[in-house]
Structure 1
Amino acid sequence: MADSWTIRADVPREIARAALLAHEEAEDWPSEWVLVGMEIADDRPDDWFVEAYLPHKPSASDAAFVGALFGPRPPKLAISKVAARDWVTLSQQGLDPIVAGPFRVRTAEFAPEPGTIDFVIPASQAFGTGHHATTEGCLAMLATMKARGMVVRNLADIGTGTGLLAFAGLALWPRALATASDIDPVCTGVVEANARANDVSLGAGRGALTMVVAAGMDDALLQARGPYDLLIANILAGPLVELAPDFADAVPAGGSVLLAGLLETQEPTVRAAYRRAGFRLAARMVNGDWSILWLRRRAVR
């Protein structure tokens, strides 16, 4: 695995949120770069970091490009090399298990806890480890759906990352068909390895998970396996808005979407897009600054 580099700024919450919004509107953002922003620590909700991951050593123009997300007076940017082997070691340190509803997500050094739906997800693996408020909120919302009597026979997790949310869906509805997708081909190996580690069956039948590489719903297999009773997408507000019509095509009347990755300030825009696409709000929760939305498709008149 090749080394990567980061460009990081530690900034107040409002500045970080503004930078994340600017990133969504940046049409020329390189597709191979990843930008994340979140709280520095749970007990410091007003202190955030914004970090761009690059597959090469950043140039001065790269740093200026990231700095431009913060407006005319960018904060101090720290550039660091992230060696693959060091990232695996460091990222495992100090991450306590996450508990959300019946789920417990842990790294391998922690022991399982009886009475929980237990998943082992290496914290070094991209996004969707359970340690971000959006993933934690999705796990809690899935538990709410189950508690309210929702029956799922066919589910898809779009932008799956580690596969965690697809695994959680199968744990709650073990006879469902399940499909996970991500735009990054690297996620295929990650999801398959995590499936094996968590005794999740891989395959095309009920109770098993199929992994595809796709941008949004743009994949023949992903389309052919629909329609979906439940479509999960923990991505970003901009793509969620763009995908609303495609999600509407993939979810029948009465079916549900679970949306996350949007700041609470972005919620009105996302909800408006899905209202136009024929969805209504079933439930919402806010975890930190992030909204998690359960929407149901209205019957077509």
Structure 2
Amino acid sequence: MNSLSSQICGSLSHFVAKNTALRLVSRPDIGHKGTNDRRTLPVTDPATTPDSTWKLTLELPLEVTSAFEELLYAQGDDPIPTIATFEIPERPEVWTFEAYYVNRPAEDRVRQALGFLCDMYQLDMPAFVIEEVEQRDWVAESQKILKPVKTNRFFIHGSHDADKVPADRIALQIEAGQAFGTGQHGTTHGCLRAIEDIAEQGQPHNILDLGTGSGVLALAMAKIWDSPVTASDIDPIATETTIENAEINHVKLAASAEDKTGVFALTADGFDDPELAGRGPFDLIVANILAGPLIELAPEMARHLTADGRLVLSGLLDHQQERVLDAYRAQGFSLEKEYALGEWRALTLKRV
């Protein structure tokens, strides 16, 4: 356990001990690190949908969002709140934090948890809003929002658009859900374009999708290349979602780490995981995460890429591009091609 985890666990134990009205609740395996938007849409079941939903909204530094999530879970609400965190592009120092409740959360308990968080990290008390959310059929809402995404080779769609697949496109059915990546986001779209361009130049022999999310990029690569694809994510829900999406899209799954065919979905905390490292070296690594982790991972990326390999990096904004490139230039890489979709960027790099 790292020092931050130890600090959080120790502090939470103290928090619970001091507040006898609270009980520590196991945290669900919902990951938020290394993504651009992992918002989870509530599932609507007419038989079980509550009469109302309440939303707590505030802004926090990314590095403390997991700690605040733990503090809210420790308050013992039944059912526990659903958490969503997502980036504010124009203000990268803070993220929006949302918690959805069946019952209205008590303001004094929210302030209590925030006060403890602020004491622990020497933060000013942030403003927060508690509001009732209109009841909706979230599945229908997601279908309205998630229109099909078409690139030169691919057609990414939900099940509601399965009848609209053009004959000249490779179809991938990806539903809105718990893991990031439906093809809608500019970063995912940029990666798909980069993959298409690389495909014009040949076939990689060993591929890694680092931070796979829904698995959309891993599955896209498995559709166009008959090469092993490792789909890795720190979040076990992402791994499960990738497996489900592979089955939906009739993509072969590797039976084990030793199986060098199909897609191997792996829950791993980066290249420190021996199972992930053992699948390398890779001649194509696609990483659609965030600028900060991309910069930190530059030495490891270089170490696990073959001499003639390529990197596709995304999850960065236009103003972050030079910092990311500087980190990879220091490892002997140069920019091969840039893909711009609004303020988002995807980059293809090769060794100098």
> CA offsets, 1:149-185, max 9 Å, x none?
1320100111101000001111221x21110011111
Aligned to 2:284: 230
Aligned to 2:64: 28
Question: Offset at 1:285?
Answer: 1.2
Question: Offset at 1:131?
Answer: 1.0
Task: Give the % identical residues.
Answer: 35
- SS at structure 1 position matched to 2:281: coil
Aligned to 1:279: 333
Normalized against structure 1, the TM-score is what?
A: 0.77
- Alignment partner of 1:145 is 2:198: yes
- SS at structure 1 position matched to 2:180: coil
Q: How many residues align?
A: 269
Does the aligned pair in 2 maintain the 1:6–1:52 contact within 8 Å?
no
Question: Offset at 1:8?
Answer: 5.2
- Alignment partner of 1:264 is 2:314: no
Does the aligned pair in 2 maintain the 1:170–1:176 contact within 8 Å?
yes
Counterpart Cα distance in 1 of 2:127 and 2:342: 23
Q: Which has the larger radius of gyration?
A: 2
For structure 2, the residue ranges without an aligned partner over 5 or more in a row are 1-27, 31-41, 44-53, 70-82, 90-94
- RMSD of aligned Cα (Å): 3.5
Per the alignment, do residues 142 and 101 of structure 1 end up closer, same or farther by CA in structure 2, a change over 3 Å counting? Answer: same
Counterpart Cα distance in 1 of 2:239 and 2:282: 21
Does the aligned pair in 2 maintain the 1:256–1:295 contact within 8 Å?
yes
Equivalent residue in structure 2 for 1:105, among 139, 146, 156 = 156
AA aligned opposite 1:285: Y
Does the aligned pair in 1 maintain the 2:57–2:99 contact within 8 Å?
no
- SS at structure 2 position matched to 1:202: coil
Aligned counterparts, 1:68-87, within 5 A = 87=138
Bigger drift between 200-209 and 149-158 goes to 200-209
Question: Offset at 1:211?
Answer: 0.8
Aligned to 2:240: 189
Equivalent residue in structure 2 for 1:127, among 180, 183, 202 = 180
Counterpart Cα distance in 2 of 1:214 and 1:82: 38
Aligned to 2:230: 179
Counterpart Cα distance in 2 of 1:52 and 1:122: 23
Per the alignment, do residues 248 and 7 of structure 1 end up closer, same or farther by CA in structure 2, a change over 3 Å counting? Answer: farther
AA aligned opposite 2:249: N
Per the alignment, do residues 291 and 224 of structure 1 end up closer, same or farther by CA in structure 2, a change over 3 Å counting? Answer: same
Equivalent residue in structure 2 for 1:209, among 263, 269, 273 = 263
- SS at structure 2 position matched to 1:224: helix
Counterpart Cα distance in 1 of 2:271 and 2:336: 23
Does the aligned pair in 1 maintain the 2:311–2:349 contact within 8 Å?
yes
Counterpart Cα distance in 2 of 1:82 and 1:297: 52
Does the aligned pair in 2 maintain the 1:285–1:292 contact within 8 Å?
yes
Counterpart Cα distance in 1 of 2:113 and 2:132: 13
Q: If each structure's strand is expressed as a fraction of its own residues, which one has the higher value?
A: 1
Does the aligned pair in 1 maintain the 2:218–2:231 contact within 8 Å?
yes
Aligned to 1:169: 221
Counterpart Cα distance in 1 of 2:286 and 2:267: 16
> CA offsets, 1:5-44, max 9 Å, x none?
86558xxxxxxxxx8xx94xx54342766532479xxxxx
Aligned to 2:170: 117
